[in-house]
């Protein structure tokens, strides 16, 4: 699906670089099904980003505030940036992979196993190298969500889709199950091949120029609020505004500390990430071309919390070093594993939690204490009291004391 529109009728001060059908074919062969261009302009959502940061909704993601000024314009990533090529690469999102008994769920974007940053950079590196060689002295640089760039806004301006109420970009063919990437350039470019409406199921229904370049695509969400209503932790302040501090994806991936006890039950059996607001979206439930996207092996559709709690640092590194789970590190994943067991576990899981109660990481010990009280408030106090008598970490002691209160009541309360 190639997206774009006619260039503005402004006077040209430099040669326009034409990107032909061969360029598009190369990208599509690498899995980039949507492609569009937009001029580099000041971010229309920059003030909203500042308000979002000031409200504290970023949680512990301090890196966003530390480089917030760079988000104002794409020049914060590439000086003299003039045009941007927005790309979307769909990933496997079938519903036909049930989670095994006692396993925790993994967000769909992880199922391929490999870190998508590595995969996309690998696919785009030769493309950018050839563009730089062919069009020297102009520069072409590819980025994948780690640079200070408003990627979803860029993709919307380039015609790849519209911003859903859950803040994710939506496309009528691919829903929201796709990765975004952007190629920035200091050149003026055009797509020298037939364009199409990015939200039509079939290409060729519209001509170049139907949509003014750099204008957002029409929203097709209508009055639907399924994504907002389904969030297990009520993370949406309102449509298009997410409080990351309550988001399960943030809690299980980005947040490296203690998780608010009031949010743990809402995490359910999500070990890493969350797809709830995407699963309920009608555009993701629509059968279409996204069903064709396959990932060999589907290595990480779910994981056993029991197995995670038995991994030492070296074993965890060996197993997950090249996967997205490495971002959370061992301490975060074992914390998540303990919370999942606290939500779905049985007495058969207590030996694994007892092992975690002796872990070298305070974060893991505290989460295991919480889970034990949830599963068995009758048998757990003796074990928890013994651990409390030798525990030196103040935060863990607090978790154990809270867990003992739960055991005395026989039910969980934060």
Using a pLDDT cut of 70, give the percent of the chain over it: 86
Report the alpha-carbon distance of residue 116 to residue 123 in Å, rounded: 10
Write out the two tokens for 312: 């030492």
Interval 164-181: pLDDT, tens: 999 999 999 999 999 999
Active site residue 205: no
- Helix (H) / strand (E) element for 352: namely helix 350-356
Number of helices followed by number of strands (H, E) in the chain: 17, 13
Report the alpha-carbon distance of residue 139 to residue 185 in Å, rounded: 5
Write out the two tokens for 162: 């519209």
Residue 207: its pLDDT value, please?
34
Secondary structure of residue 36 in the 3-state scheme: strand
Interval 84-123: pLDDT, tens: 999 999 998 876 666 777 899 999 999 988 899 999 999 9
Report the alpha-carbon distance of residue 244 to residue 263 in Å, rounded: 12
- Rg (the chain; Cα; Å): 24
Report the alpha-carbon distance of residue 403 to residue 381 in Å, rounded: 8
Catalytic residue among 145, 192, 269, 395: 145
Residue 347, classified by CB atoms within 10 Å of its CB into exposed (0-12), middle (13-18) or buried (19+), is exposed
Angle made by CA atoms 244, 248, 252, in degrees to the nearest 5:
100
Interval 283-342: pLDDT, tens: 998 765 555 555 545 577 889 999 999 999 999 999 999 999 999 999 999 999 999 999
Check whether the bond before 237 is cis (ω within 30° of 0): no
Interval 238-271: pLDDT, tens: 999 999 999 999 999 999 999 999 999 999 999 9
Residue 288 contacts residue 94 (beta carbons within 8 Å): no
Specify the residue for token string 């999500």. Answer: 270
CA 397 to chain centre: 33
Coarse DSSP helix, strand, coil percentages of the chain, rounded to the nearest 5 percent: 45, 15, 45
Residue 333 contacts residue 272 (beta carbons within 8 Å): yes
The structure's pTM equals 0.89
């Amino acid at each position: 699906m190639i997206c774009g529109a006619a260039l503005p009728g402004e006077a040209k001060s430099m040669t326009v670089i034409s990107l032909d059908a061969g360029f598009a074919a190369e990208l599509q062969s690498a899995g980039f099904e949507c492609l569009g261009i937009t001029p580099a302009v000041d971010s229309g959502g920059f003030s909203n980003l500042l308000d979002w940061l000031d409200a504290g909704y970023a949680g512990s993601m301090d890196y966003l505030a530390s480089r917030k000024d760079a988000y104002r314009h794409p020049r914060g990533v590439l000086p003299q940036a003039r045009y941007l090529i927005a790309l979307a690469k769909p990933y496997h999102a079938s519903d036909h992979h049930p989670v095994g008994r006692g396993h925790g769920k993994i967000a769909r974007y992880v199922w391929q196993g490999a870190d998508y940053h590595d995969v996309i950079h690998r696919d785009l590196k030769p493309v950018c190298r050839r563009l730089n060689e062919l069009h020297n002295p102009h520069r072409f640089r590819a980025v994948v969500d780690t640079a200070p760039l408003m990627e979803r806004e860029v993709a919307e301006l380039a015609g790849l889709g519209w911003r859903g109420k859950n803040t994710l970009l939506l496309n009528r063919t691919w829903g929201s199950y796709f990765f975004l990437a952007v190629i920035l350039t200091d050149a003026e470019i055009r797509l020298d091949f037939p364009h199409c409406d990015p939200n039509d199921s079939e290409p060729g229904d519209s001509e170049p120029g139907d949509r003014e370049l750099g204008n957002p695509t029409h929203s097709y969400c209508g009055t639907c609020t399924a994504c907002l209503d389904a969030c297990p932790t009520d993370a949406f302040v309102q449509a298009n505004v997410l409080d990351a501090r309550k988001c399960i994806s943030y809690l299980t991936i980005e947040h490296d500390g203690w998780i608010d006890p009031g949010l743990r039950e809402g995490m359910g059996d999500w070990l890493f990430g969350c797809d709830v607001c995407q699963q309920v979206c009608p555009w993701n439930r629509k059968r279409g071309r996204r069903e064709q996207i396959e990932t060999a092996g589907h290595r990480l559709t779910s994981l056993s919390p029991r197995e995670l709690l038995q991994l030492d640092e070296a074993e965890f590194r060996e197993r997950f070093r090249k996967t997205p789970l490495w971002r959370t590190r061992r301490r975060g994943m074992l914390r998540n594993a303990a919370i999942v067991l606290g939500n779905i576990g049985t007495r058969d899981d207590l030996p694994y939690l007892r092992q975690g109660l002796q872990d070298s990481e305070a974060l893991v010990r505290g989460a295991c204490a919480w889970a034990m009280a949830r599963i068995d408030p009758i048998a757990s106090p003796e074990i928890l009291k013994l651990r409390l008598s030798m525990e030196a970490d103040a935060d863990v002691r607090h978790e154990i004391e809270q867990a003992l209160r739960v055991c005395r009541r026989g039910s969980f309360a934060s």
